[in-house]
Amino acid sequence: MSFRISAKSEVLFGEGASHQTGKRTVAFGCSKVLCVYDKGVKDAGIVGPIVESMEKAALRVVHYGTVLPDPPDTMVDECGAIARKEKVDGIVGIGGGSTLDTAKAVNVLLTNPGPIRHYYAPTGVHKPGKPLVLIPTTSGTGSEITHVAVVSNTATKTKGGILGPAMVASLAIVDPLLTLGLPPHITAATGMDTFAHAIEGYTSVIKSAMSDILSEKAIELVFKYLPRAVKNGSDMEARTNMSFACLIAGMSFNDTMIHFGHAIGHCLGALHHIPHGVACAVAMPGVIDVVISVMPDKVRRVGELMGLTLAKGLKPAEVGAAVSERIVAFNKELGIPTLRELKVKEADLLPMARAATRDVGFFFVPRSMSTNDVLAIIQKAYAL
């Protein structure tokens, strides 16, 4: 057995953990920080108390409160210029993946020359950044623990990853209380992003014994708690378990990478501006169709974790069909729209299949696939 665990961030997890933001950030030697967030998180009343905790700890706070979804490289450059001009010595990101990834990417620009597009993987290497505190307010991306930031390349209309030392949080503060106000549709979409990390981490070409444990637990928790969190946003037990599932699914895919679902998801995000979690959710039944021929036992296990009773004598294709159908039903139960409902046109499918084969996720698909194979799976999703 051999595997790698590269998650290095300290994690503070628990209800009310965000009250410690000020004193924990000062402990890194910071005196003036850039606080990064978006309008939705500010309007939800989440930013105020955390800024208060920082000011109480005598930190000076520079605000950047206009993060955009699928963060564009141009916005990251703008935010980086503010951070450099203000000579901040640390960054605190409060929000969903778009905000946490913006905070990470700006951390590159604090200690390295811009623009940020020079740092896309696999070529862009950078020096470490400043202390970085990440506080997730969705239970979806796992960005608080991963070593990647996803930034939209406005020139190529693609989403690309930035990897390296400035991406690694000095501290992740996971406070499930911050997710209580997340509206049902965002709870569902982000929760399915966690599910996608767990499934793809479990079946990636570089899966490991450690990622298996993390993914299995995350799959079980998402199936048990996501419907509860969507139905009743104040269900604290469900919210806490979704925050935990998100964290451990992030730890899983941090080393094993994502694959087919995210390759499709990135294209839907970049070309059609479909929210990341929704884009991944609609691709998930297809992931099962992709992996069933090479990992039938794992697909069976996913089915069991989703509560399916699968007779011993079933053929792999029958197991695959049952699990894939269960995910379709789960998406429906959560109110995730279909590709047609998302206004994707039939003519978009072939360009999407071609773009998916060029996405970084495609390198980790556990079997070889032609563009036509990819197209057939997207067409199946389109027929729903």
Closest CB 22 distance from ligand NAD, rounded Å: 20
Nearer to ligand NAD, 170 or 320 (CB): 170
Provide the minimum distance between the beta carbon of 172 and ligand NAD in the complex, in angstroms, as a whole number: 12
Helix axes 276-291, 316-334, angle to 10 degrees: 170
Calculate the dihedral angle through the C-alpha atoms of 131, 134, 135, 137, rounding to the nearest 10 degrees. Answer: 160
Minimum distance of ligand NAD from residue 91's CB (angstroms): 15
In degrees, to the nearest 5, what angle opens at C-alpha 96 toward C-alphas 95 and 100?
A: 75
Cβ–Cβ < 8 Å for 61, 71? no
Cβ closest to ligand NAD, residue 167 vs residue 375: 167
Q: Are 294 and 47 in contact (CB under 8 A)?
A: no
Q: How far apart are CA 271 and CA 283, in angstroms?
A: 15
Q: Which is nearer to ligand NAD, 150 or 352 (CB)?
A: 150
Which of 103/377 has CB closer to ligand NAD?
Answer: 103
Q: How far is the CB of 297 from ligand NAD (least distance, A)?
A: 27
Is residue 354 a contact partner of residue 263, using CB atoms and an 8 Å limit?
no
Q: How far is the CB of 295 from ligand NAD (least distance, A)?
A: 22
Q: What's the min distance (Å) between Cβ of 214 and ligand NAD?
A: 14
Give the C-alpha distances (Å, rounded to integers) separating 69 from 98, 122, 152.
5, 23, 9
Distance CA 160, CA 119 (A): 10
Pick the closer one to ligand NAD by CB: 146 or 203: 146
> Which stretches of the chain bind ligand NAD, using CB under 6 A?
38, 40-41, 44, 46, 69-70, 95-99, 101, 137-138, 140-143, 146, 148-150, 159, 178-179, 181-182, 186, 190, 193, 276-277
Identity of the residue, 138 or 208, whose beta carbon is nearer to ligand NAD in the bound complex: 138
The DSSP symbol for 234 reads T
Give the separation between CA 120 and CA 87, rounded to whole angstroms. 24
Question: For residue 383, which amino acid is it?
Answer: A
Q: Least separation, in Å, of the C-beta of 261 and ligand NAD?
A: 11
Q: Shortest distance, CB of residue 16 to ligand NAD, whole angstroms?
A: 15
- Judging by beta carbons within 10 Å of its beta carbon (0-12, 13-18, 19+), is residue 307 exposed, middle or buried? exposed
- Residue whose tokens read 């729903």: 384
Length in residues, the chain? 384
Radius of gyration (Cα) for the chain, nearest Å? 20
Q: Which is nearer to ligand NAD, 141 or 256 (CB)?
A: 141
Please identify, using beta-carbon distances, which residue of 172 and 291 lies nearer to ligand NAD: 172
